[in-house]
Amino acid sequence: MAQGERVRRILHCDMDCYYAAVHVRDDPSLAGRPVVVGGDPEGRGVVATANYEARRFGIHSAMPAARAKRLCPETVFLAPDFPVYRRESEKIFAIYREITPIVETASLDEAYLDVTDHLGPSGTASEVAKEIRRRVRAERGLTVSVGVGPNCLVAKIASDSCKPDGLRVVPPARVRAFLDPLPVRRLHGVGAATERALAAMGVATVAQLRVVPLPNLLARFHSHGRTLHEYASGIDERPVQPFHERKSLGTENTYRRDLTRVEAMDEQLDAMAREVAVGLGRRDIAACTVTLKVRYPDFTTVTRSLTFRVPTSDPGRIGSTAKGLLRRTEAAHRGVRLLGVSVATLVPATVRQLELFDDA
């Protein structure tokens, strides 16, 4: 860092066992019991979140729910309820945004905050982190682990290292000492394939990666090699980017001639669903609610909606839902002048993997 360059102060806030914690808070009878949020253990469901009581039995995210039940038959299995998680997330993020307007949504339960210019009366990022943890516990009845560092990379690793219900501060002068003993897999952007390639080069820890000459990394990983070189030294210039949330996304068509055949309406809805899905994909978000809009020839307009427990960005599912909603209108008997498909209750697409769960 150049002399006189201002040090950023970044927080990574990560809720502890978020989905399960919300259920336990709202149902005190679950306190102290192993709880899994996910799919049906009698079917092909998958674990989304396991609380720490369940983790003691070896249960973890992405594990088949049936195996989780075998590991601990006393586990309470709950279906995910994303509308509830989303409403709670909005209240938690409102606390963050009272601290700083620079809040980047990573998922429903995870955020980066840039507090460099928003340190409050204390003047320190560590005190800001303590205040966030206090308020989330007092106002929402939940716990959040917070990592503090000079950039997003370090703050994220710090929060991971202090869970559950912890706080870890990594000052700039301690960044290398903090990162050096860690396995390279802990670095952002290092997946299984990169980890194997580094292992073939004799690199297992961040300290070992840091001393690999940059030309060697560029030769093996091309442009990603430079990123690896920088991350190994704790350098991460990515800014915290506030996510300006959309409330809904949709499309509609007014027809020169009224549609009178249901088959023609279905074709239009399928096309709209594909358009909406492209919009979701472009923004890397998914939706829990699908809404159908129908305008009859006399200009009467009706809407029908359906909300899923599990978000989706799949055009087939959006289209089939819209067509099902069409059957709940009088379109087949009255014809339509306008059709529209929109989606709402939008969430970051990181939760799309939960479509593996049974949605019954």
Amino acid found at 67 = R
- Report the side by side order of strands in the sheet with 10-15: 103-107, 110-114, 10-15, 144-149, 167-169
Confidence of residue 242 (pLDDT cuts 50, 70, 90): confident
Distance of CA 179 to the CA centre of its chain: 25
The model's pTM is 0.71
Say what the pLDDT of residue 15 is.
97
Confidence of residue 353 (pLDDT cuts 50, 70, 90): very low
Q: Read off the tokens for 280.
A: 């979701």
Q: 192-200 and 214-221 are packed helices; what angle lies between their axes, rounded to 10 degrees?
A: 130
Q: Beta strands 144-149 and 167-169: pairing type?
A: parallel
Q: What is the DSSP string of 266-292?
A: HHHHHHHHHHHHHHHHHHTEEEEEEEE
Q: 3-state DSSP call for residue 12? A: strand
What is each CA distance from 355 to 26, 317, 359, in whole angstroms?
A: 24, 11, 8
Separation of alpha carbons 258 and 121, rounded Å: 64
What are the structural domains, with CATH classification, of the chain? 10-15+84-232 (3.30.70.270), 18-80 (3.40.1170.60), 248-356 (3.30.1490.100)
Whether residue 357 has pLDDT greater than 50:
no
Give yes or no for a contact between 85 and 122, defined as CB atoms under 8 angstroms apart. no
Looking at every residue in the chain, the average pLDDT score rounds to 91
pLDDT digits (tens, 9 = 90+) for 87-133: 999 999 999 999 999 999 888 899 999 999 999 888 999 999 999 99
Ramachandran assignment for 143, one of left (phi > 0), alpha (psi -120 to 50 degrees), beta (any other): beta
Confidence of residue 359 (pLDDT cuts 50, 70, 90): very low
Whether residue 3 has pLDDT greater than 70:
no
Residue in 5, 88, 110, 330 annotated catalytic: 110
pLDDT digits (tens, 9 = 90+) for 142-170: 999 999 999 999 999 999 999 999 999 99
Separation of alpha carbons 128 and 123, rounded Å: 8
Q: Read off the tokens for 250.
A: 């949709």
Residue 127 designated active-site? no
Q: Read off the tokens for 129.
A: 């982190």
Whether residue 221 has pLDDT greater than 70:
yes
Separation of alpha carbons 303 and 308, rounded Å: 17
What is the average pLDDT across 26-43? 93
What is the average pLDDT across 14-22? 96
Confidence of residue 59 (pLDDT cuts 50, 70, 90): very high
What is the average pLDDT across 14-38? 96
The proportion of the chain whose per-residue pLDDT surpasses 70, expressed as a percent, equals 94
Confidence of residue 350 (pLDDT cuts 50, 70, 90): low
Say what the pLDDT of residue 345 is.
85
Whether residue 310 has pLDDT greater than 70:
yes
Cite the DSSP H helix spans in 284-343.
315-326, 331-334
